[in-house]
Structure 1
Amino acid sequence: MISLDDVRSAATVIAPHVVRTPLLPYGPGWLKPESLQPIGAFKLRGALNALARLENRERGVVAYSSGNHAQAVAFAARLHGVPAAIVMPDNTPAVKIEATKALGAEVFIVGITERVERAEALVAERGAALIPPFDHPDVIAGQGTIGLEILEDLPDVGTVVVPMSGGGLISGVATAIKTLRQDVRVIGAEPALAADIADSLRAGELVHWDPDERARTVADALRDEPSELTWEHISKLVDDVITVTEDEILTAVADLARRARLVAEPSGAVAVAAQAKFGGGVAVVSGGNIDPELLSDVLTNS
């Protein structure tokens, strides 16, 4: 498992290139709007930290992603002047594919179960370095810098709500928060249609859902499952999980636009939907890369 020192070191590495997002008041609680990052999502933190520490990046980097990690790796690779090859599933929103290409990355579209295999093949073919979306200590440490910032800005915080999928974000945030403040509750938020971590915590062991089952949720960035590494963090550090329905997720997207003036993708609004169930605390708005047509539909019909 990563340590607080890993997170603090990551904070130093990434500070010149990320936005230190503020805490925004929202109802009885607060928002941490990572949607304001240059690539529109928290993923930039982990990608920057991981790529900066690579010793063999001359031949480029490879990543697999449903969208936000893809953009983060493409951004970090461009910053360091190395080529990036990104493998994306064929159910990725077009807005995320085009944004990744615009950052200079070479994009490969594959079936939803073929991402890892294709990425590993590219690594072998090119001698490139793989930067996974969550299953890596440097990626997790980078995401954990969000936890440091929350505690610095709101020392008396009682609860932090974090969206979960592969688990890199909540693993890093929980490490930072629980090491410094054991009394703060770290709550995971999941779509009910992709609630494998909730099932896992109830079972006391990692429970696997079929990828097609997880793909039902509109929260496209939350369709992954934890790795053994992230599950180790989650099982030891996360206090509880709240699941939310598709309607609750889309309502949160609309509410964020109207009340907080924030554009959030469905995955980015999941923690806010969970926060609404109990009020208070800090909800991490993890991303804002929503398909424009979906946003229009949500605002028109809610």
Structure 2
Amino acid sequence: MSQAEAGHAPGGVPITFEDVRAAAGRIAGVAHRTPVLTSRTLDTMTGATLLLKAENLQRAGAFKFRGAYNRISSLTADELARGVCTWSSGNHAQAVALSAALVGTRATVLMPEDAPVAKRIATEQYGATIVTYDRYREDREVKARLLAEERGLVPVPAFDDPMVMAGQGTAALELIEDAGPLDTLVVPMSGGGLMAGCATAARALLPDVELIGVEPAAGNDTALSLAAGERVRIPVPHTIADGQQVEIPGALTFEINRREVDEVLLVEDAALVETMVLLFERVKTVVEPSGASALAAVLGNPGRFAGRRVGVILSGGNAGAARFAALVSGAAW
């Protein structure tokens, strides 16, 4: 068992670059090595060279597949026989369901009642059993862990897990390997697992790289936590970015992000929709609101990035046609 699997890397660090490298080997040939997209239009708008890591084209439609598969494929035969359980609004749910199917185990997923319909349907189609809850009245993690205990399932957290974080870090590893050196890496933040993994990989390869996280303005738990020097809990945020409706950063993810993240930028929901439309029309790619957040932050602060090589993670593309149209028309928010 690696140090990441055991949950303790050297010196109390949750994961190391070696754990990200190991995850890259584990997911190779299973996860997509997603392309790096470029656009002269976007470069002109920002004065920067933008390198977009298209995780909206990942299996199950988001970066979450990397961490879920890294974790589930490492389970013992006894654990696989028990089945796995997770809690998610959709992207991690789909990733766990698909990963479980690929390794031959079953998945039970706790999803909010108001999860996007397309995400729930996809999760069911991958073979998972869905249990619903009220995200505004119930604690999803407590409810999911009770469910796991009652049914003997192995919990697979969405972000606060060393194996999951290491898997997510392979997105930055691939981006730097394929696109070359970066001055800045901009990453959407929710529970912090994607940033924690990407920060671990990026700092090892590019010690001077600037790391910027992005949250919806209504869901600024990480920004508040970094300012306070400790994790801060907020009410469940009301935002169209359902993948970023987290109340508090993860304990393990925060240990990395509090040391590595240089700044957190906030974006309004309107900017997310504008960015979704821009990517659709100019780059010919579909992203969901959370997946648009990092680019929205760059577009909203063009002088901040001018003259720099900027890596941007497009974290997910799970927006069904009806929801995409409703968001663009303003009917969904």
Fold similarity call, TM over 0.5: yes
Cα shift readout 1:10-53 (whole Å, capped 9, x = no counterpart): 00000121110111113221211101012100000000000011
CA RMSD of aligned residues (A): 1.4
2:240 equivalent in structure 1: 218
2:51 equivalent in structure 1: 30
Q: How do residues 5-84 of structure 1 correspond to structure 2 at under 5 angstroms?
A: 5-26=18-39, 27-28=42-43, 29-55=50-76, 56-84=79-107
Distance 1:298 1:222 in 2: 16
Superposed displacement of residue 105, structure 1: 0.3
Distance 1:247 1:92 in 2: 20
Give unpaired runs (5+ residues) of structure 2: 1-13, 44-49
Q: Percent of aligned pairs with the same residue?
A: 43
Give the counterpart letter for 2:227 in structure 1.
R
Superposed displacement of residue 156, structure 1: 2.2
2:147 equivalent in structure 1: 122
1:3 equivalent in structure 2: 16
1:297 to 2:326 alignment: yes
Of 54-63 and 167-176, deviating more is 54-63
- The match for 1:146 among 171, 176, 181 is 171
Cα shift readout 1:165-216 (whole Å, capped 9, x = no counterpart): 10000000000001221111111011001011111122222221012xx1x1
Superposed displacement of residue 294, structure 1: 2.8
Runs of 4+ in 1 over 2 A off after TM superposition: 291-294, 297-301
Cα shift readout 1:246-294 (whole Å, capped 9, x = no counterpart): 1111101111101111110001000110121234511111000114223
Superposed displacement of residue 59, structure 1: 1.1
Distance 1:170 1:156 in 2: 18
Contact 1:254 1:298 in 2 (8 A): no
2:3 equivalent in structure 1: none
Contact 2:273 2:328 in 1 (8 A): no
Superposed displacement of residue 68, structure 1: 0.3
Superposed displacement of residue 135, structure 1: 0.7
Distance 1:101 1:90 in 2: 14
Which secondary structure does the structure 2 equivalent of 1:283 belong to? strand
Contact 2:181 2:206 in 1 (8 A): no
Give unpaired runs (5+ residues) of structure 1: none
Cα shift readout 1:194-246 (whole Å, capped 9, x = no counterpart): 011111122222221012xx1x1110000113111111111011111111111
Q: How do residues 52-201 of structure 1 correspond to structure 2 at under 5 angstroms?
A: 52-55=73-76, 56-112=79-135, 113-201=138-226
